[in-house]
A = this chain, B = another copy of it.
Amino acid sequence: MNSLDLMRSISILSPSKIVMVVIDGLGGLPLSGTGKTELESARRPSLNALAGKSECGLSYPVGRGITPGSAPGHLALFGYDPLNCNVGRGILEAMGIGFDLAPGDIAARGNFCTIDSSGRLIDRRAGRLSTEESSRICQVLDGMLIDGVRVFVRPSKEHRIVVVFRGEGLSEMVSDSDPQQVGVLPKSVSAQNKESEKTASVADKFLARAKEILSGQKLANMILLRGFSKLPCLPTMNDIFQLTPAAIAVYPMYRGLAKVVGMDILPAGMTIADEVMNLSRHFADYDFFFLHVKGTDSAGEDGDFERKVTVIEEFDQSLDDILALNPEVLVVTGDHSTPAIFKGHSWHPVPLLIYSKWCRPGDLVDFSERSCLRGSLGHVDATDVLPLAMAHAQKLNKFGA
């Protein structure tokens, strides 16, 4: 029996509520001066007090040594084996700009690029043109109808765009047009099987028309496409866990990931306090809440140790407002580590805290990477976090007679 089948067989509907806070990129590495990580450097009285009453541990998003992207990091926390549910690059980029994807849509990540008069690539990023300029050009290209397929062209950041193909009989099994080097012609999109021939043909026609339309542009005179993908078809959290889940996330990508597993998307606001206010406002309507804190990851990616510390402190100041709602279970963790000194996602395990009245606490006095190492949960796979939360919420039947 695989783990989703096991969960489906023992999950039960109950009125208890689970709040899962994902502090993006929470895990860190110590500064050489202080020997303390971002979390250890933050003033966090509420998190520390909670840790003493909770079960703590370290969570591995995908596996030892594996640095996860945002999709696997989150899907694992939602209970799905990230190795078995791949979210393609095109889909993730479309989610990132908040594009309202429909089942069957094929999304590709695009670049505006520069070609010379012979069609050869000179600059794969069209001089990193501004997002404003890119948005203007996207409007010209957006909405074509090619062989019955609608093609959406939407700006992301700078030269990056998203191209979505919507129509009957499309497939993601087509190759990239991006040759990943300059001095050569962009490749044509080719079908990897019979079912994807229409998609390849439509994509090539789209690229040819875009080339015509863009021929007057100096920099952004062509488009490269890669990472054709479609929405993964996952059973919903309601189907597997009998949960009625909702997501509170400021950034579109995380709302997109939440939608993939069947969560309702609630308003978020701009700040962590806004998010918690919205949690409070909708607390009666759902029994599972995913609340996403983004600032930690952005600060980590920027190498801004102090800003990451500040975001953790900002969350700590909202923690008591979450506890005041009396959820039966509160989970605080991250989807991966983003150590500021590493300036990017990393493979290090992530601090994890699960609070309920059924905790077997250890002897922790704070919430930190170092303490979680000695916590009563030990080292867990991120896919175990939701089953543990379900157990603490008494939403799981006994397994076996």
Contact = CB atoms under 8 A, between A and B. Distances in A.
Interface of A: 1, 3, 6, 10, 27, 29-30, 37, 58, 62-72, 82-84, 86-89, 91-93, 227, 339, 342, 345-348, 358-363, 369-370, 373-374, 376-381, 384, 387-392, 396-401
Contacts of A71: 400-401
A5 to B, nearest CB: 9
B388 A65 contact: yes
A87 to B, nearest CB: 6
A287 B305 CA distance: 32
Residue among A84, A360, A401 having the largest count of chain B Cβ atoms under 10 Å: A401
A360 B378 contact: no
A336 to B, nearest CB: 9
A27 B360 CA distance: 10
Nearest to A73: B400
A360 B373 CA distance: 11
B1 A67 contact: no
6 contacts: A1-B83, A29-B360, A65-B389, A68-B399, A69-B400, A369-B376
Contact of A37 (B82, B360, B388): B360
Contacts of A58: 378
B64 A387 contact: yes
Contact of A64 (B69, B347, B384, B401): B384
Contact of A398 (B30, B86, B91, B345): B345
What 8 A-B pairs are tightest by C-beta distance, nearest first?
A: A65-B387, A65-B391, A69-B400, A64-B384, A72-B400, A92-B401, A378-B379, A65-B388
A370 B380 contact: no
Contacts of A369: 360, 376
Given A29-B360, A360-B37, A6 B83 contact: yes
Given A72-B400, A370-B363, A391 B89 contact: no
A396 B84 contact: no
Nearest to A92: B401
Contact of A66 (B62, B93, B396): B396
Contacts of A397: 67
A164 to B, nearest CB: 16
Nearest to A359: B29
Contacts of A92: 401
A71 B398 CA distance: 11
A187 to B, nearest CB: 21
Residue among A6, A83, A392 having the largest count of chain B Cβ atoms under 10 Å: A83
A1 B84 contact: yes
